[in-house]
Amino acid sequence: MTAERMKNLHPYVPGEQPRDRDYIKLNANENPYPPSPAVLRTAARAARDYAGRLGLYPDPDSNELRAAVAGLLNRTGGVLCRTELHGGARNGSGAACSPAAQDRIPFAVTPDMVYCGNGSDEVLSFVFYAFFDGDRPLVLPAHTYSFYPVYAGFYAIPLNAVALKADWSLDVPAMLAAANATDSSIIFANPNAPTGIGLTRAQVDAMIAAAPSNRVFVVDEAYVDFGGESCIPLLARHKNLVIVRTFSKSLCAAGMRLGYAVASPELIAHITTVKNSLNHFPVDVLAQRLGIAACEDAGYYVRCAQRVARERESFAAFLRARGWFVLPSQTNFVFVRKDGVDAQAAYRAIREAGILVRHFSAAGIEDFLRITIGTRAQMAALRSVMAQL
Ligand SMILES: *Cc1c(COP(=O)(O)O)cnc(C)c1O
């Protein structure tokens, strides 16, 4: 009874969200901190206004939100954990922000360079539709965000998955050779998931320069705020670059479903064309207002990202001291394994103790656990469980 194309669907399995017990959730790379106090105040106000506006459609193009996102990027350089704060409360709320020298963007990001969607998963889906054809393979790392193969199936785009290097970083020469052989696009997360390892901006710059210039090159910066290098400055040089980012990780708002793309106005217009052909109003009134409030209180999220990065380093040191192999992470998670520890069994033991982490059964990474960095108290609880393994 189903359409022929249904056979291409291989639905994504997200980190579990169980309701049966109050688990400490370190399995979906969510942010352990609540949204900024300014967002909470805006939420209360917006909920009242919303009731009166419920019958009206939102701004289909999220224009104010796009302006707020552009402002956020200009004030932070697109990397929260290095953003410098001036004034504000102890938790960073209300502080003025300026980018660290290494993150400064050498031009102003403008609202016409930003597309806002209903989570970066939706943005990615529109990017796949707009820029990747079924007549040639899309090049990606063998281990990266597992939604890319799902969308490739949905849109019938063949894949060329390139093995990671022995140190778990991207094999850039092999990816370039693959892309140039078939005149293909490239996509990866930077820093990559689930490894946590990133390429420098200079490395991505050289990679784009050596890739097909007539094909869109996509960099997913879902985790860059926790310590990577943003490729936004490269938009000045590479007209085929699309950068995808999200509010779900560093902006403490996975439940709100907001993500965005940053690219030239020409490429953003193509993504908007897809949106207007499929879902005219992807971002609802509340998400637009709360997203604006989050962008305007970046100082709070700077402090959150810094705390997560500090906690990550101390947790990694703890595990290494106990014989675990911990990949160097620039994200809000660590990817770890230990000789003699069965990762699937360890996942179950940790779950038994009330803490959820992520285990992937995919060949090649089945020995690893991916552990989201939580609050200090959550990590202390996990430490005492893992010390027993
Ligand atoms: C979490 C994640 C996303 C999805 O984010 P949403 O905005 O919540 O849809 C996209 N890419 C990567 C690499 C991620 O880890």
pLDDT digits (tens, 9 = 90+) for 185-229: 999 999 999 999 999 999 999 999 999 999 999 999 999 999 999
Residue 118 is encoded by which pair of tokens?
Answer: 């209903």
* Length of the chain measured in residues: 389
| Long-range contact set of residues 48-51: C-beta below 8 Å, sequence gap at least 24 | 50/285, 50/286
Out of 122, 192, 249, give the residue to mutate to test ligand 1, the one with the largest number of ligand atoms within 8 Å of its CB: 249
Q: In what order do the strands lie in the sheet with 325-326?
A: 325-326, 333-337, 369-372, 358-359
Strand partners, 189: 220
Distance CA 250, CA 42 (A): 19
120 forms bridges with which residues in the sheet?
none
95 vs 284: CA distance, rounded Å: 28
Q: Give 120-171 pLDDT, tens digit per residue.
A: 999 999 999 999 999 999 999 999 999 999 999 999 999 999 999 999 999 9
- Residue 96 dihedral angles phi and psi, to the nearest 5°: -80, 150
Rounded CA-CA distance 188/303 in Å is: 27
**What sign does the dihedral 112-113-119-124 (CA atoms) show?**
positive
pLDDT digits (tens, 9 = 90+) for 52-98: 878 899 999 999 999 999 999 999 999 999 999 999 999 999 999 99
Q: Ligand 1 centre and the CA of 248: distance in Å? A: 7
Calculate how far, in angstroms, residue 263's C-alpha sits from the geometric centre of ligand 1: 18
CA of 178 to the centre of ligand 1 (A): 25
Ligand 1 nearest atom to the CA of residue 248, by list position: 8
